[in-house]
Amino acid sequence: MFERKTEPLLSPRNFVTRALRYAAFSLAVIGMSLFLGMVGYRVLADIGWVESFYNASMILTGMGPGLDIEALPFERRAGIQLFAGFYALYSGVVFLAASGLILSPVLHRFFHKMHLEMEGDS
């Protein structure tokens, strides 16, 4: 996946390509997660796509639910609350995983360069 500590540092051009590839994959995971949340809100809360986008993005970014549950019909509240809770737990994991994916090429390059410099000093 990444170069080993005995291999030379990746060229800047190849590093940027790798970082962009990881960022694109992270954005795809976030986009699929956002769509999943939108569909869940659309089906369970019976609200429009724009409002579903707003609620799913609020939970996905960790801002909390934007939907006023009390304004919805009583029969739907429990299902929406369960969905929102599970979606929030899922979103926390997705956020951490996406952050790790975006940062991993940068951190690997930093530690690899530091290791090469330490090895050159001795």
pLDDT, tens only, 26-67: 999 999 999 999 999 999 988 899 999 999 999 998 887 777
Given a cut of 80, whether residue 120 has pLDDT beyond it is no
Given a cut of 60, whether residue 110 has pLDDT beyond it is yes
Region of residue 48 (phi > 0: left; psi between -120 and 50: alpha; otherwise: beta): beta
**Residue 52: burial class (beta carbons within 10 Å; 0-12, 13-18, 19+):** buried
Q: What is the pTM of this model?
A: 0.80
Given a cut of 60, whether residue 122 has pLDDT beyond it is no
Read off the pLDDT of each residue in 60-89 and give the average, rounded to a whole number. Answer: 83
- The CATH class given to the 14-121 domain equals mainly alpha
Terminal-to-terminal C-alpha distance of the chain? 28
pLDDT at 114: 79
pLDDT at 6: 76
Give the domain ranges of the chain: 14-121
The overall average pLDDT reported for the chain is 87
3-state secondary structure 41-53: HHHHHCCCHHHHH
pLDDT at 89: 93
Q: Kindly list the distances between the CA atom of residue 33 and the CA atoms of 8, 36, 90, 99, 116, in Å, as whole numbers in the listed order.
A: 37, 5, 9, 14, 39
More confident residue, 115 or 92: 92
